[in-house]
């Protein structure tokens, strides 16, 4: 068999290699991430930022799904566009805006999800390094959840995505904890799909004080109860952690707040009727129905135990009942403000999926969802920086 | 390992390379000819593999080459013209490939579907020119040097971007259509070990347009794509085992080394991590069965 020549249409290689896809390279075609719990590397900024106060009494924290530096570019799985790839300029411009918002709020701890370090779709930009070098955050731990050398879906290519926790205080321990995989996918799809994991770090605040931080991002598209299992696992971990040290837990749960019980019959006190919109959001495109990216039914009741046993940054009382009251705290919209849905409405935050929790008897100050300029003193426009809004607040340490 | 065992078995069982004897020797009694050299013809000679290209000598100094499996989705044809058939043979190649339809068949997998826009893989032709020089070292050993260049001529708007897969041959195949050009040079040595075995080793160096690509959406340039190291190195070692009168089985291993976008994590002196880019390696088995005819015996 000859060495392939330039521009020859060489079926020899194409067909043979299609049959020998698990090529004997030095890197696996897809990483199953077969760990249960393992240490992960810690990154440090190159440019030295100001060292924070030793043994603080309060920590500003933020959780943000940064949508792989795509800002409001509509990718194919959202059904409002068909992009599959970003230019270096697009990613750099977007991350500059993301970093500006972070710098304005100036959190001590930032928990991010959908952050990429080496993905083809986001121009192979190391976003962990970018945020470290463009914000006052000094340390980071990246918990990889998707490591595929080539995803043959829409030419997606290489993917290296995960959660990352950034901190102004030294990260002294970092680990990732595997979550369950979906069971409603074929073996091939499952192999090349995301494998969710929780990122956990311990921070040294000085004077022998340590706190923990968790970044989570649960499944978005399953119809087999995977997300609910993942949320249960997060709850159990947090419950155990609460016995050990103070912690903050933040991220995109892909679940609505437990204002009601979706299982309750209409007309009963627990019913969601009139209290919480469960489906038919204005950014859901009809053409997504029946595809792999259809929005599964929400099950807000699985979040109830978090509100019972931990302290949320936005309480249910503050969240309120009904869309009008809840609207200031919505944190997600697939559709951006410069696009309109099939009814001609521009995109705006329309549901809450992102949360911050601390231990039950610890306090919050100045919490909010940074939806638009002016919230928590931030002038950057989060609506144009991601399909999720940052959730933030000041954690009063015990 | 099985290939090595088979080679060892056959080399022990086979006769040594036939020495010239008085009178004409049927070609079926000689070692199989070296492959992928500058040799062309004689007229009527043909060969075809499952994966290797079909070659048909129209005249003693001119033959056509094409890949029949892909022909109907990616029409392709290469003419090979022998400039010199002396001790050192020189052949030039010139061909055309129209890959668009074949590429479009992979939309949804290797390329985007572009379901909500008019973006698409543009119509294009890929002309290619090349030169091969071959000579003999022993009676039946052949060395070959080659150089070639393929460039893309776009016939309209094109939104396809470089494939950036994990398979060197696939990336080479798609290099000119998706990066604009692919140039290469290399050399091979094809040795007759016994009358029934040939061992072929080749090394090739390529450069593509991967370092300077832009992303075009709806005809607009949205900025540069992440630059990739455009240099690709491949080596191939293959064993040809003669079967029947003129046919052969080829088995081998390809190694490719190039930038697939891989990174590795290294730790600094304080134990903090740093992500660094590196080149990747491919090791791929190769296998084919090649029929040949037109020998007149």
What total of structural domains would you count in chain B? 1
**pLDDT tens digits for A151-173?**
999 999 999 999 999 999 999 99
Q: H or E element: which one contains A319? A: helix A316-319
Does residue A11 surpass a pLDDT of 60?
Answer: no
A26 pLDDT tier (thresholds 50, 70, 90): low
Domain residue extents for chain A: 30-396
CB contact under 8 Å between A11 and B252, yes or no, is no
Query: Who's near A314: CB < 8 A, 6+ residues apart?
Result: A257, A329, A352, A355, A367, A368, A369, A391
Does residue A225 surpass a pLDDT of 90?
Answer: yes
Which residue of chain A has the CA closest to B238?
A1
In a domain, B36, yes or no: no
Cα B159 to Cα A251: distance, rounded to the nearest angstrom: 35
Q: Is the Cβ of B180 closer than 8 Å to some Cβ of chain A?
A: no
With contact defined as beta carbons under 8 Å apart, do A366 and A46 qualify? no
Q: Residue B267 is part of a domain; what is its CATH number?
A: 2.40.230
**pLDDT tens digits for A327-347?**
999 999 999 999 999 999 999
Q: How far is A197 from chain B (nearest CA, A)?
A: 19
- Who among A17, A89, A125 is closest to B223 (CB)? A89
Task: Write out the residue range of the structural domain in which residue B214 sits.
Answer: 2-15+44-293
In a domain, B76, yes or no: yes
B8-36 residues labelled b (16+ CB within 10 A) or e (exposed) = eebbeebeebeeeeeeeeebeebbbbbbb
Q: H or E element: which one contains B280? A: strand B280-293
Put simply, the chain A residues between 34 and 73 with a CB less than 8 A from any chain B CB are 41-44
Dihedral, CA of residue B41, residue B42, residue B46 and residue B52, to nearest 10? -20
Bond into A201 cis (ω within 30): no
Put simply, the chain B residues between 187 and 226 with a CB less than 8 A from any chain A CB are 188, 202, 204, 206, 214-215, 217, 222-226
Does residue A7 surpass a pLDDT of 70?
Answer: no
Interface-testing mutation among A2, A4, A7, with chain B (most B C-beta atoms within 10 A) = A7
Distances in whole angstroms, Cα of residue A90 to Cα of each of A86, A97, A380, B18: 6, 11, 17, 66
Q: What is the pLDDT of residue A27?
A: 75
Q: What is the pLDDT of residue A14?
A: 39
Put simply, the chain A residues between 133 and 152 with a CB less than 8 A from any chain B CB are 149-150, 152
**pLDDT tens digits for A28-70?**
889 999 999 999 999 999 988 889 989 899 999 999 999 999 9
Q: What is the pLDDT of residue B26?
A: 75
Q: What is the pLDDT of residue B51?
A: 87
CB contact under 8 Å between A6 and B261, yes or no, is no
**pLDDT tens digits for A126-159?**
999 999 999 999 999 999 999 999 999 999 999 9
CB contact under 8 Å between B128 and A158, yes or no, is no
SS3 B13: helix
CB contact under 8 Å between A82 and B112, yes or no, is yes
In a domain, B61, yes or no: yes
In a domain, B165, yes or no: yes
CB contact under 8 Å between A3 and B254, yes or no, is yes
In a domain, B191, yes or no: yes
Nearest to A372 by CA among A342, A394, A343, A347: A347
**pLDDT tens digits for B59-113?**
999 999 999 888 899 999 999 999 999 999 999 999 999 999 999 999 999 999 9
A289-320 residues labelled b (16+ CB within 10 A) or e (exposed) = eeeebebbebbbbbbebbbeebbbbbeeeebb
Cα A327 to Cα A329: distance, rounded to the nearest angstrom: 5
Q: Is the Cβ of A189 closer than 8 Å to some Cβ of chain B?
A: no
Q: Which CATH architecture has domain A30-396?
A: 4-Layer Sandwich (3.60)
Does residue B186 surpass a pLDDT of 70?
Answer: yes
B23 pLDDT tier (thresholds 50, 70, 90): low
């Amino acid at each position: 068999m000859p060495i392939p020549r330039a521009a020859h249409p060489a079926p020899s290689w194409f067909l043979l290699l299609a049959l020998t896809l698990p090529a004997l390279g030095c890197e696996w075609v897809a990483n199953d991430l077969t760990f249960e719990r393992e240490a992960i590397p810690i990154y440090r900024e190159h440019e030295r930022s100001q060292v924070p106060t030793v043994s603080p009494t309060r920590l500003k924290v933020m959780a943000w799904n940064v949508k792989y530096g795509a800002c409001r570019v509509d990718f194919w799985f959202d059904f409002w566009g068909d992009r599959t790839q970003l230019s270096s300029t697009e990613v750099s411009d977007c991350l500059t805006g993301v970093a500006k918002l972070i710098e304005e709020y100036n959190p001590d701890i930032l928990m991010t999800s959908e952050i990429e370090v080496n993905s083809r779709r986001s121009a192979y930009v190391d976003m962990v390094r970018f945020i470290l070098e463009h914000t006052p955050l000094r340390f980071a731990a990246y918990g990889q959840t998707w490591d595929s050398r080539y995803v043959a879906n829409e030419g997606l290519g290489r993917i290296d995505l995960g959660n990352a926790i950034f901190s102004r205080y030294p990260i002294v321990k970092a680990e990732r904890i595997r979550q369950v995989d979906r069971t409603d996918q074929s073996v091939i799809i499952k192999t090349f799909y995301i494998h969710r994991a929780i990122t956990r770090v311990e921070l040294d605040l000085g004077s022998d004080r340590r706190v923990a931080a968790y970044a989570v991002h649960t499944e978005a598209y399953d119809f087999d109860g995977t997300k609910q299992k993942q949320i249960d696992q997060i709850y159990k971990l947090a419950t155990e952690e609460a016995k050990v040290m103070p912690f903050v837990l933040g991220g995109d749960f892909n679940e609505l707040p437990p204002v009601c019980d979706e299982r309750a019959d209409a007309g009963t006190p627990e019913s969601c009727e009139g209290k919480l919109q469960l489906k038919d959001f204005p950014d859901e495109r009809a053409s997504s129905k029946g595809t792999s990216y259809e929005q599964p039914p929400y099950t807000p009741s699985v979040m109830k135990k978090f509100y019972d046993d931990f302290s949320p940054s936005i309480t249910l009382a503050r969240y309120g009942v009904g869309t009008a009251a809840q609207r200031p705290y919505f944190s997600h919209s697939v559709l951006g403000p410069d696009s309109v849905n099939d009814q001609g409405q521009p995109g705006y935050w329309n549901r809450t999926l992102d949360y911050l929790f601390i231990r039950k008897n610890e306090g919050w100050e100045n919490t909010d969802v940074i939806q638009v300029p002016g919230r928590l003193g931030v002038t950057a426009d989060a609506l144009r920086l991601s399909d999720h809004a940052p959730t933030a607040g000041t954690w009063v340490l015990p | 390992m099985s290939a090595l065992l088979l080679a060892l078995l056959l080399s022990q069982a086979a006769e040594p390379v036939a020495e010239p004897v008085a009178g004409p020797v049927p070609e079926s009694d000689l070692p199989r000819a070296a492959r992928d050299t500058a040799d062309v013809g004689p007229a009527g000679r043909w060969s075809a593999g499952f994966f290797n290209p079909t070659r048909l000598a129209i005249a003693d100094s001119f033959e056509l080459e094409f890949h029949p499996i892909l022909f109907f989705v990616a029409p392709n044809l290469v003419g090979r013209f022998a400039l010199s058939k002396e001790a050192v043979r020189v052949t030039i190649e010139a061909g055309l490939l129209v890959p668009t339809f074949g590429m479009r068949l992979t939309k949804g997998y290797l390329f985007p579907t572009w379901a909500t826009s008019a973006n698409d893989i543009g119509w294009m032709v890929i002309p290619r020119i090349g030169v091969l020089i071959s000579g003999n070292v022993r009676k039946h050993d052949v060395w070959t040097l080659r150089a070639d260049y393929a460039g893309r001529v776009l016939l309209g708007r094109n939104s396809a971007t470089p494939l950036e897969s994990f398979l060197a041959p696939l990336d080479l195949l798609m290099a000119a259509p998706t990066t604009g050009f692919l140039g290469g040079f290399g050399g091979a040595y094809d040795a007759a070990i016994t009358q029934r075995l040939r061992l072929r080793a080749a090394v090739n160096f390529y450069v593509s347009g991967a370092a300077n690509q832009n992303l075009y959406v709806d005809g607009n340039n949205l900025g540069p794509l992440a630059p990739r190291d455009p240099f690709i190195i491949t080596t191939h070692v293959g064993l040809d085992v003669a079967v029947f009168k003129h046919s052969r089985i080829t088995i081998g291993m390809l190694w490719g080394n190039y930038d697939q976008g891989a990174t590795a994590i290294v730790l600094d002196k304080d134990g903090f991590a740093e992500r660094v880019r590196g080149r990747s390696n491919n090791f791929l088995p190769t296998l084919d069965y090649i029929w040949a005819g037109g020998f007149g015996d």
